[in-house]
Amino acid sequence: MSSDRLPSRSENFADWYNQLVLRAELADYAPVRGCMVVRPYGWALWENIKQELDKRFKATGHVNAAFPLFIPRSFLEREKEHVEGFSPELAVVTIGGGQELEEPLVVRPTSETIIGHMYAKWIKSHRDLPVLINIWNSVVRWELRTKLFLRTTEFYWQEGHTAHATYEEAEEETLQMLNIYADFAEKEAAVPVYKGLKSEREKFAGALRSYTIEAMMGDLRALQSGTSHNLGDNFARAFDIKYSDQNNELQYCWTTSWGLSTRFIGAIIMVHGDDQGLILPPRLAPYQMVIVPIFRDEDQKAAVFEAANKMMAQLSEFRVKLDLREGVTPGFKFNEWEMRGVPLRMEIGPRDLEANEVVLARRDILGREGKQKVSQDRVADAARDLLSDIHSNLLDRATRFRDENTHQVDSYESFKEVLENKGGFLRVYWAGSSEDEELIKAETRATIRCFLMDPPDGKGRCFYSGEETEKVAIFARAY
């Protein structure tokens, strides 16, 4: 680890982010342009994210499977909007086993097409429906401007792909998965999100309708953090996915897809982090607590280590790191684990031993205010309470921050003025066209993040066109 200071978050957010990802050893640049290596600390975070999502997927009847990395190029061309959307971003294999291939293979940018092909083969009858499959894998989209976790050529995600007998069931599934993403974001990652519908301009290439969860980052920009698409019968028609209904008549299926990626790690970093570094949400943190023993000589060391090991045994329900490194000071360890975002630190030294106590220090509240002495007999109870409290505090803080930086505007003038002087999310009535959206983006770099679900606002006038509407949109500059 470098001993230089981390750049300040408020002065240079982008630099702070890039440096922090590297120093915290979450990820590193790969020797292939645009690719990343996810290091063990970052991958442990992703494994915890996976586990929490997977639990929710399985509880709603989904099963996992694996589909090939390679897709025949011709498959992509069967759905017109899909191929238009993905063509510019493809990595293409042209040589296999030393031979030029007759048909080039695309490295999957997403798997709707190859899954459509297989579903057409597997689904015969209404009894085979619904098919509810999820996949954990990586996909490749050639990117020119990359940023670790947020935009890389290869990234890790899950992609769910389901097939249903009716449009209504597909829509219900799409919304169910959107709600699961929002629930996961708030309950596990302490990241508050707006749920909503994407505009026509921003929807997934080939979808009928795309839903999204959108979070506000610490620099007031938006991050699309998970999406759920109702694909209508577009892919069913393109790949001939049909079932025979109860009357023995052939019908097209209705399909959905939904995904959440390692991008979400970027959201965790940018929603919670501060000038000291990461603050990881307790339910996902690779280490929920670090124990730092403090001692001056060998006698003290033996006693302190023994006590630390006793504490470890009491904390078996948590993910705990016992930092026994020698040759670095406790202060160095404090700084390092603060930078790496461990939610709770236990300090244990000779004076604590005498008093049968330990010190617990919160990462979300630094300094004396976040420290407390706890009897050694009740560290597990104290840790449970504190971790729960840290989660709530992170969620409250982030929600307050987002709400304080969400501004209602009713004219394009005030839109531009607020965006320029305050930034953040702009909440507006919207009845404009895709062309209007394009013009606003060209002038302000802000895009529609989503149309809010069930907005409580009633009717109002579009800030841009003046037309009356019930649709409420969130505009923002986004990652």
Q: Which residues bind a second copy (CB under 8 A)?
A: 28, 30-32, 35-40, 42-44, 46-47, 63-72, 75, 87-98, 104-105, 107, 114, 117-118, 121-122, 127, 133, 137-138, 140, 142-144, 153-154, 156, 327
User: What's the closest the beta carbon of residue 233 comes to a second copy, in angstroms?
Assistant: 21
User: What's the closest the beta carbon of residue 177 comes to a second copy, in angstroms?
Assistant: 18
Nearer Cβ to a second copy (115/190): 115
The Cα–Cα gap between 174 and 477 comes to 26
What are residue 67's phi and psi, to 5 degrees?
-120, 155
Return the axis-axis angle of helices 298-314 and 379-404, rounded to nearest 10°: 70
Burial environment of residue 418 by CB neighbours within 10 A (0 to 12, 13 to 18, 19 or more)? middle
CA nearest 141: which of 158, 153, 149, 156?
Answer: 153
Nearer Cβ to a second copy (133/426): 133
Nearer Cβ to a second copy (64/356): 64
Nearer Cβ to a second copy (138/251): 138
The Cα–Cα gap between 61 and 25 comes to 36
Nearer Cβ to a second copy (155/464): 155
User: What's the closest the beta carbon of residue 25 comes to a second copy, in angstroms?
Assistant: 9
Nearer Cβ to a second copy (54/389): 54
User: What's the closest the beta carbon of residue 32 comes to a second copy, in angstroms?
Assistant: 5
The single residue listed with the structure tokens 């240079």 is 12
User: What's the closest the beta carbon of residue 408 comes to a second copy, in angstroms?
Assistant: 40
User: What's the closest the beta carbon of residue 65 comes to a second copy, in angstroms?
Assistant: 5
Residue type, 175: L
User: What's the closest the beta carbon of residue 409 comes to a second copy, in angstroms?
Assistant: 37
Nearer Cβ to a second copy (1/355): 1
Nearer Cβ to a second copy (153/224): 153
Nearer Cβ to a second copy (91/175): 91
- The 3-state secondary structure of 117-147, one letter per residue: HHHHHHCCEHHHCCEEEEEEEEEECCCCCCE
Q: How many CA atoms lie within 13 Å of 17's alpha carbon, on the beta-carbon side?
A: 19
Nearer Cβ to a second copy (100/354): 100
- Contacting residues for 381 by C-beta, under 8 A, at least 6 apart: none
The Cα–Cα gap between 428 and 356 comes to 58
Nearer Cβ to a second copy (313/442): 313
User: What's the closest the beta carbon of residue 135 comes to a second copy, in angstroms?
Assistant: 9
Q: Are 242 and 122 in contact (CB under 8 A)?
A: no
User: What's the closest the beta carbon of residue 344 comes to a second copy, in angstroms?
Assistant: 21
User: What's the closest the beta carbon of residue 401 comes to a second copy, in angstroms?
Assistant: 31
The Cα–Cα gap between 136 and 156 comes to 8
54-57, long-range: CB within 8 Å, 24+ apart, which pairs?
A: 54/134, 54/136, 54/158, 56/180, 56/183, 56/184, 57/134, 57/158, 57/160, 57/180
Nearer Cβ to a second copy (138/465): 138
The single residue listed with the structure tokens 């982010």 is 17
Q: Is 107 helix (H, G, I), strand (E, B) or coil?
A: strand
Element (H, E) at 172: helix 167-187
User: What's the closest the beta carbon of residue 130 comes to a second copy, in angstroms?
Assistant: 13
The Cα–Cα gap between 338 and 332 comes to 10
The Cα–Cα gap between 59 and 54 comes to 8
CA nearest 308: which of 288, 292, 284?
Answer: 292
Q: For the chain, how long is the longest CA-to-CA vector? A: 84
User: What's the closest the beta carbon of residue 132 comes to a second copy, in angstroms?
Assistant: 9
